[in-house]
Amino acid sequence: MNNLNVLLVGNPNTGKTAIFNHLTGLNQKVGNYPGVTLDKKQGFFTLDCGQKITLTDLPGTYSLIPNASDEAVATEYLTAEKGHIDAVIFVAEVENLKRNLLLFSQVKDLGLPCLLAINMADQMQRKGIFINTETLSKSLQTDVILISARKKEGFDDIKSALKKVRSFDRSKFSDYYEKIDATYFNGLEKNGNPYENWLNIALTEQENKTVQKYLQKETIYRYQKINDILKNSYQIDREKARSIGAKIDKVLTHKFFGVLFFLAILFLMFQAVFTWSATPMDLIDEAFVKWAGWVSEKMPSGMLRDLICEGVIAGLGGVVIFIPQIAVLSLFIALLEEIGYMSRVVFLMDRLMRRFGMNGRSVISLISGTACAIPAIIATRSMSSWKDRLITILVTPFTTCSARLPVYTILISLVIPDKIYGGIFNLQGLTMTALYLLGFLTAILAALVLQKYLKVSDKKFFIMEMPDYKIPLLKNILLDVFQKTRSFVTSAGKIILALSIVIWFLSTSGGDDFKNAETLVKTSPTAQNLSDEDLQTAIASEKLATSCIGKMGVFIEPVIKPLGYDWKIGIALLTSFAAREVFVGTLATIYGIDSEEEIPIKERLAKERNPETGGARFDLACGLSLLIFYAFAMQCMGTLAVVKRETKSWKWPLLQLFGMGILAYIGAFITRWIVLFFS
Amino acid sequence: MNVTKLKIGGVATVEKLCFDEIPLALMEIGCLPGNRIKIIQKAPCGCPIYLEVAGSHFALRAEDCKKITVKKTRNE
């Protein structure tokens, strides 16, 4: 028996993805605002008769005439794959059935065999909704099934309906073409499906006035027919349907209290990221130091032991330690999405964001960019305005993503005193807050500049569904947190593992002067006055300076000297262009090579001296200048690749790489000189 | 009058649309002559407007709302 190819199609916010998860058991995200189901997702399940099903979840759309690029996916897939589709499970929802049926009527007109699943049936009584499935089924010539993804009801009915997929009705929904303009539509291509032919014309000639007029008429006729059908089979008490949601919205979307609430949520979120994660982070830190100590005890000393203890374990520790913070951040974002609050944020912030050349949806990207820029950039697909979308993509990497946290945390703890001002304000915490604000502020200012200079023609139209509030499903949220955290650890882990091996290799090999380093130091006249310990340190640093990586660092040192960095920091900067969080691991590897004992990275860095000044290597000027550099620079290969994919051009990622790089350099330079001037 | 003139809580019936300017997406969510519109909330500075149209809940910008002519039915 062949696999049956079944599609899930429907409007956004109908719980399509929850149904997909339940049917296939495949772990995936359920979103409450447009833009979560972005790519086609597939899963598999088997009916009890043994029939295997391949289920494809298409991104939600309101119509086959797409308004944004995430919506276009559904149209493209339906028309291109039409011949291979065995059935469509069309997902509607009890409260918005009328609007859902518009898309249903279009899918039906493509001649696809459909099954209508009306979700959230458990809410019908509370919302004052009545549906006569029998009458509805007859007038739509389609099987109608009431389901509840939340209560896990109705799935058996879907499965048994899929058994008789071959007998699904393929008749068209309507034949209004005659009513719009009989001569025009009769003149169209006769071969194939008439609606598909018309759809092709409508999509390629969207600017054509006649086409626009016909599309409008078509929509009116479709609604007329839907209204006629629903008259006999559907009732809703509009006041009851949103009674709870309306009360919440009175406050949460209020122009004053709503904004206040949003700011409070943001404050709570960032507060939680730091306070909730402090203890687990300390535990992880200790565990990794112990692990490295244990390994160095058990293994014979030598190159391999150094690689594992100083490169791999230290580098991985620098990533794993941020799991608590990323988990808390993802938890908040997932919770807000799941409840339906994100669309309220879009509503409240649209006006403000427009001033900066973006729109309300950009706020979602900027907030989720604090976890990671990659999903934040992908989420821009739900924007219908290309210019707004491009600007949002370009400025999102300025927001303080979780990869910057390792760098910020270690630099702040090195150069900012751990003092409390005014009883509650911890100076280190304030610096971190300031860096977050700097990220948002730079993003917004960059948008303002881009808005002026970007020459992109564009249609400006904004529409945002405000779905009813939902009680979040714990499973969905935890799954999302787990997936985001796992992808951070695995992707960062891979890069760090690879880079620490490369760096370690490069720092333990070199030319003749590297091989002669030991004898050179020992025979030098100053060596006689050194203690044994100092002699070892001198040998180790001479070795590092003459190694391959040392030569690379020394080569770029003139460029970064004005910023107050030496060649060792230069190496860390270079490797950070793969991913920012590599900074800590690289420094650990470089500095670990010339130290014998196992100590936390922070203490190791604090011990470093600047030979020119005799003071600490990481003093206030150097530390702040590095913080500014990392705040601005585009150091993430993953993000660059995604920007290339989303903008279909190298122009924009390169603009980010160089534009943000130049800004970082100038910013770091100015910061250093300001600090030096005042100290 | 157009939708922007309605106060929060105001209910009206869609009378006419500027068909030449109105985005198709607006009609697709059910914003069609004869359907009920209720203003639920207005964002700071009166834009966007959060409204219920034909039972669907959407936020639209003021400039798009201006293209929708309505007839007031009652105040709530």
Model confidence over A373-423: pLDDT tens digits?
888 888 888 888 899 999 999 999 999 988 898 889 889 988 988 888 777
Q: Per-residue pLDDT tens for A87-128?
A: 999 999 999 999 999 999 999 999 999 999 999 999 999 999
* Res. A206: pLDDT tops 70: yes
The confidence score (pLDDT) of residue A28 equals 54
Euclidean distance between CA atoms A220 and A341, whole angstroms = 32
Q: What is the mean pLDDT of residues A445-465?
A: 86
Please judge whether B25 and A67 are an interchain contact, meaning their C-beta atoms are less than 8 angstroms apart. Answer: yes
Pairing type for strands B68-74 and B56-60 reads: unpaired
* Res. B57: pLDDT tops 90: yes
Q: Is A464 on the interface with B (CB under 8 A)?
A: yes
Q: Give A37's pLDDT tier (boundaries 50, 70, 90).
A: very low
Q: Per-residue pLDDT tens for A601-617?
A: 777 788 788 877 778 88
Q: Is B24 on the interface with A (CB under 8 A)?
A: yes
3-state secondary structure of A279: helix
The confidence score (pLDDT) of residue A312 equals 79
Where do the H-state alpha helices sit in A92-208? 97-109, 124-127, 133-140, 155-163, 177-186, 194-204
Are A318 and A581 within 8 A, CB to CB?
A: yes
* Res. A40: pLDDT tops 80: no
* Res. A314: pLDDT tops 80: no
The confidence score (pLDDT) of residue A271 equals 81
User: Structure tokens of A340?
Assistant: 């339906």
* Res. A141: pLDDT tops 50: yes
The confidence score (pLDDT) of residue A449 equals 94
Q: For residue A350, which residues of chain B lie inside 8 Å, CB to CB?
A: 43, 47-48, 59, 61
How much of chain A exceeds pLDDT 90, in percent? Answer: 37
Euclidean distance between CA atoms A667 and A660, whole angstroms = 10
Please judge whether A350 and B56 are an interchain contact, meaning their C-beta atoms are less than 8 angstroms apart. Answer: no
* Res. A532: pLDDT tops 80: no
B-facing residues of A in 373-402 (CB < 8 A) are 384
The confidence score (pLDDT) of residue A31 equals 40
Q: Would you give the end-to-end CA distance of chain A in angstroms?
A: 79
Q: What is the mean pLDDT of residues A306-316?
A: 76
* Res. A662: pLDDT tops 90: yes
Q: Give A549's pLDDT tier (boundaries 50, 70, 90).
A: confident
Q: What is the mean pLDDT of residues A644-667?
A: 94
What is the chain A residue with the closest CA to B8? A250
- Round the average pLDDT of chain A to a whole number and report it: 86
A-facing residues of B in 43-72 (CB < 8 A) are 43-45, 47-48, 50, 52, 54-61, 64
Q: Per-residue pLDDT tens for B18-47?
A: 888 888 889 999 999 999 999 999 998 888
CA distance B70 to chain A (A): 17
Q: For residue A213, which residues of chain B lie inside 8 Å, CB to CB?
A: 19
From A444, A324, A334, select the one nearest A379 (Cα to Cα): A334
Q: What is the mean pLDDT of residues A456-465?
A: 80
The confidence score (pLDDT) of residue A595 equals 54
Q: Give A343's pLDDT tier (boundaries 50, 70, 90).
A: very high
Q: Give A597's pLDDT tier (boundaries 50, 70, 90).
A: low
Q: At what angle do helices A342-355 and A323-339 cross, to 10 degrees?
A: 100
Q: How long a stretch of residues is chain A?
A: 679
Q: What is the mean pLDDT of residues A435-459?
A: 90
The confidence score (pLDDT) of residue A298 equals 86
How much of chain A exceeds pLDDT 70, in percent? Answer: 95
Q: What is the mean pLDDT of residues B2-9?
A: 91
Find tokens 């809580």 and name the residue: B9
Q: Is A72 on the interface with B (CB under 8 A)?
A: no
The confidence score (pLDDT) of residue A592 equals 63
The confidence score (pLDDT) of residue A297 equals 86
User: Structure tokens of A55?
Assistant: 């289920």
Cα dihedral angle (A663, A666, A668, A669), rounded to 10 degrees? 180
Q: Is A216 on the interface with B (CB under 8 A)?
A: yes
CA distance A464 to chain B (A): 5
Q: At what angle do helices A194-204 and A209-231 cross, to 10 degrees?
A: 130
CA distance B2 to chain A (A): 18
Q: Give A235's pLDDT tier (boundaries 50, 70, 90).
A: very high
Q: Per-residue pLDDT tens for A472-482?
A: 888 778 877 88
Q: Is B11 on the interface with A (CB under 8 A)?
A: no
Q: Which residue out of A64, A255, A463, A464 would a mutagenesis test of the B interface target, given it has the greatest number of B Cβ atoms within 10 Å?
A: A463
HSE-up (13 A, CA, CB side) for residue A430:
12
The confidence score (pLDDT) of residue A579 equals 78
Q: Give A32's pLDDT tier (boundaries 50, 70, 90).
A: very low
Q: Which of B28, B47, B54 lies at the smallest CB-CB distance from A63?
A: B28
pTM to 2 decimal places: 0.85
The confidence score (pLDDT) of residue A593 equals 54
What is the chain B residue with the closest CA to A360? B48
From B66, B24, B50, B26, select the one nearest A214 (Cα to Cα): B24
Lowest mean pLDDT among A44-53, A204-213, A572-581, A648-657: A572-581
Q: Give A33's pLDDT tier (boundaries 50, 70, 90).
A: very low
ipTM above 0.90, yes or no: yes
Q: What is the mean pLDDT of residues A589-607?
A: 67
